[in-house]
Structure 1
Amino acid sequence: MKHPLHATVRGTLLAAAVFLAPFAGAADKLGSADASMLKDIAEANIAEVETGKIALEKSSNGEIKSFAQMMVDDHSKGLSDTQALASTKGVKLPDSPSVKHKAVALELKALKGDTFDSRYVKQAGVGDHEATAKLLQKTQAQAKDADLKALADKMLPVVQGHLQHAQQLAARK
């Protein structure tokens, strides 16, 4: 014989499961502001990888090539970390640079020699890293999601190091 208390407990658990099902995993989702910051971080990494590859092809300056290789390596890792977080948070990331960065890439491809090196260092090296550092600082301050803040915490020192290196290169150009 079934005990009436068991039926009541089963009914309560079933009702709770039905009620709470839509909220399962909701803690893993990002709010729109956090998702936007994550997408911006991805775009910054994509742009640095792309412009770094252009510099590896176009520059004949050893210091610029070394810097460009570091950009490709470090920002590929940053993009991989960003993609991993986006996957766990259900955020679809862009897979190509922003319109602005596509225009920069086209401009860089048209340049040669010292003109290329100077523009690459000033735009992709200094300018973009200043913007990315500001984005990561904003993410640290405003993100609601702890994992997104941790990503910004991890990436910011790398980006600041790139910025300092780019500023040193720019001072020599």
Structure 2
Amino acid sequence: MQLKRLLMLAAFPATVSCCGDDDDEYGNFVSNRDRTFVSKTAMSNRAETDAGTLAATKATDTAVQSFGRMMVAHHAEARKHLQQMAAELGAAAPDTTDAAQAALLLQLQTLTGRAFDSAYIVNQVNAHKAAIALHEEEAARGNNSRIRGWAKEMLPRLEMQLYKADLLANGYR
């Protein structure tokens, strides 16, 4: 009986430490979903700053130029915060665009005048709808509490940007 009690007491600390440290349930673990969100969002922010820089210099409509400058400022700030958070959490935040974004940027570089303004601003509507959907998904289903919170925090700004882009795009549809 004494041996049984000693074995139980010896096993108890291992049981407690095994069961009491489940990061997955408490939002500290960076899941594959979180990593995908960080990667896609980082590339999107880079595409927004690159396209916004083009709009600020190539657009003929001063409202589109202004919108482009706003995109550069907002998405450069978001990119900086996301990269810092990702580095702290050990997640990759690439400072590049994906293939589709790179192709769009190449297309925008070839356009001028109203054709540029139209292509840029209509793309902004589509890009912001996609970004909002991505952030809503992470806010609802992401595992890591910091990344999930950041996604929620960014939604109002993205929604405001979509609203402004949509207003401008109405003049080009």
Q: Same fold (TM over 0.5)?
A: yes
Would you identify which runs of 4 or more consecutive aligned residues in structure 1 move more than 4 Å?
25-29
- How much does 1:29 deviate? 4.8
Contact kept, 8 Å, 2:37 with 2:134, in 1: the verdict is: yes
C-alpha distance in structure 1 between counterparts of 2:44 and 2:153, whole Å: 15
User: Deviation per CA, 1:18-60, whole angstroms, max 9, x where unpaired?
Assistant: x99xx9x998551212111111111111110010011112112
Looking at structure 1, the residues matched to 94 and 134 of structure 2 have their Cα atoms a distance apart, in angstroms, of 17
Q: Give the Cα separation in 2 of the matches to 1:39 and 1:166.
A: 24
User: For residues 156-171 of structure 1, what are the structure 2 equivalents within 5 Å?
Assistant: 156-171=155-170
Counterparts of 1:145 and 1:59 in 2: how far apart (Å)?
A: 40
TM-score, length-scaled by structure 1: 0.82
Which structure 2 segments of 5+ residues have no match? 1-9
Distance 1:72 1:145 in 2: 27
Whether the aligned pair in 1 keeps the contact of 2:43 and 2:96 (CA below 8 Å) is yes
Matched, 1:33 2:37: no
Q: In structure 1, what is the Cα distance between the partners aligned to 2:35 and 2:119? A: 31
Q: Does the residue aligned with 1:172 lie in a helix, a strand or coil?
A: coil
Structural RMSD (CA): 2.1
Partner SS state of residue 93, structure 2: coil
Which TM-score applies when normalising by structure 2? 0.82
Cα offset, 1:72, TM superposition: 0.2
